[in-house]
């Protein structure tokens, strides 16, 4: 199976490409630059949205895995709204092609403020440009796949834990601060509970989801249980033998973050088993 991966040079893309290759899939990895992509993949550096016929240009892949997204951790960036028509046009071009399946990376921020387990049919009321745009793209992609008879997967990602200094998550920022020799890291009270999943587990769940067609639709890429933010961050610091300490209460909690939220893992557990 030939899989086209957009955003392949990004934080998530790099790990997901490796796991797809491990599964024996042929991967075409695409991004503005591809210097950090696994050499076993076919690498193409380009601007996705400037290509007239991407299906033919990228060698008629069987599956599109669309990870590309600008300012993913800047939830109020105007880029989310400005880029939405480009993402839809790109995906629509594949829906009009001979491709078999379209897979797009989503986010639990599509849901908005919610407490409890997020299921496939949990209503979405996003409150940020990031969440609003992701949710709109999900609905548009589901619509066009249904119209064109394409298999559809929406991989709803949760909170990723990894020690790369180049990501934008709190864990990446702590790693960068540790490397810079800082003694304290400004933090909230850390009372909110989220669904945390380790980076490698996240990438494997994505790759395994793409590599099967029995389970489609919205799939939560998650651990399936909540953990207090302060507990997970303290554990992360200990796991990596960092010396940095958290400065509790330096920042207020974000008003749009839920007190306790996690993904229903029933679908991904079936896929992984």
My answer on whether 177 and 118 are in the same domain is no
Q: Are residues 68 and 201 in the same domain?
A: yes
Mean pLDDT of 131-147: 98
Question: Residue 268's pLDDT is what?
Answer: 98
The answer, yes or no, to whether residue 257 has pLDDT greater than 80, is no
Do 208 and 233 sit in the same domain of this protein?
no
Q: What is the pLDDT of residue 73?
A: 83
d(CA 177, CA 156): 29
Same domain for 113 and 202, yes or no, is: yes
pLDDT in tens, 13-48: 999 999 999 999 999 999 999 999 999 999 999 999
| CATH code of the domain in which 7 resides | 3.40.50.720
The total of structural domains in the chain comes to: 2
In order, the DSSP letters of the chain are -EEEEETTTSHHHHHHHHHHHHTT-EEEEEES--TTS-TTSEEEE--GGG-S-HHHHTT--SEEEE---SSTT-TT-THHHHHHHHHHHHHHHHHTTT-SEEEEEEEGGGTBS--EEE-TT---B--SHHHHHHHHHHHHHHHHHHHHT-EEEEEEE-EEE---TTS-SHHHHHHHHHHTT-SEEE------EE-EEEHHHHHHHHHHHHT-SSS-EEEEES-SS-EEHHHHHHHHHHHTT---EEETTSSPPPTTS-SBEEE--HHHHHHH-
Q: What is the pLDDT of residue 216?
A: 98
pLDDT at 166 over 90: no
Do residue 6 and residue 130 come from a single domain? yes
Please determine, for residue 255, whether its predicted confidence score (pLDDT) is greater than 90.
no
pLDDT at position 260: 94
How large is the greatest C-alpha to C-alpha distance in the chain, in angstroms? 55
Sign of CA dihedral 201, 204, 208, 209: positive
User: 173: domain CATH number?
Assistant: 3.90.25.10
- Domain identity same for 147 and 36: yes
Q: What is the mean pLDDT of residues 58-70?
A: 98
Domain of 239 in residue numbering reads as 161-193+225-262
Q: Are residues 75 and 101 in the same domain?
A: yes
Q: Are residues 124 and 258 in the same domain?
A: no
Residue-wise pLDDT for 197-231, tens only, equals: 999 999 999 999 999 999 999 999 999 999 999 99
Q: In the predicted model, what is the mean pLDDT of the chain?
A: 95
Query: Is the per-residue pLDDT at 182 higher than 80?
Result: yes
The pLDDT value recorded for residue 164 is 79
**Whether 97 and 186 share a structural domain:** no
For residues 113-122, average pLDDT: 95
Rounded CA gap, 67 and 17, in Å? 11
Decide if 158 is catalytic: no
Q: How would residue 158 be classed by pLDDT, with cut points 50, 70 and 90?
A: very high
Catalytic residue among 130, 158, 159, 199: 130
pLDDT at 156: 98
> Same structural domain for residues 174 and 105?
no
pLDDT of amino acid 163: 80
Do 52 and 152 lie in a common domain?
Answer: yes
Q: Is the pLDDT of residue 120 over 80?
A: yes
One domain, residues 187 and 130: no
């Amino acid at each position: 199976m030939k899989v086209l991966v957009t955003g392949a040079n990004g934080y998530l893309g790099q790990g997901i490409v490796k796991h797809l290759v491990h599964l024996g899939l042929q991967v075409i990895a695409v991004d503005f630059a591809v210097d950090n992509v696994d050499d076993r993949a076919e690498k193409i550096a380009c601007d996705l949205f400037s290509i007239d016929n991407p299906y033919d240009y990228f060698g008629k892949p069987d599956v599109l895995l669309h990870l590309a997204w600008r300012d993913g951790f800047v939830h109020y960036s105007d880029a989310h709204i400005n880029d939405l028509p480009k993402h839809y046009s790109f995906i629509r071009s594949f829906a009009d092609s001979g491709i078999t399946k379209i897979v797009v990376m989503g986010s639990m921020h599509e849901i908005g403020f919610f407490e409890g387990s997020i299921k496939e049919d949990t209503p979405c009321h996003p409150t940020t440009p990031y969440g609003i745009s992701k949710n709109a793209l999900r609905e548009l992609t589901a619509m066009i796949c249904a119209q064109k008879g394409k298999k559809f997967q929406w991989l709803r990602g949760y909170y990723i834990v990894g020690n790369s200094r180049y990501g934008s998550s709190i864990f990446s920022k702590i790693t960068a601060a540790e490397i810079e020799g800082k003694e304290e890291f400004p933090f909230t009270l850390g009372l909110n509970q989220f669904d945390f999943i380790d980076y490698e587990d996240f990438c494997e769940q994505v790759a395994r989801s793409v590599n099967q067609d029995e389970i489609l639709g919205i799939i939560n890429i998650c651990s399936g249980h909540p953990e207090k933010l302060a507990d997970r961050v303290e554990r992360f610091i200990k796991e990596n033998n960092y010396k940095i300490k958290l400065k509790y209460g330096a920042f207020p909690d974000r008003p749009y973050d839920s007190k306790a939220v996690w993904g229903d893992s029933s679908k991904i557990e079936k896929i992984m088993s």
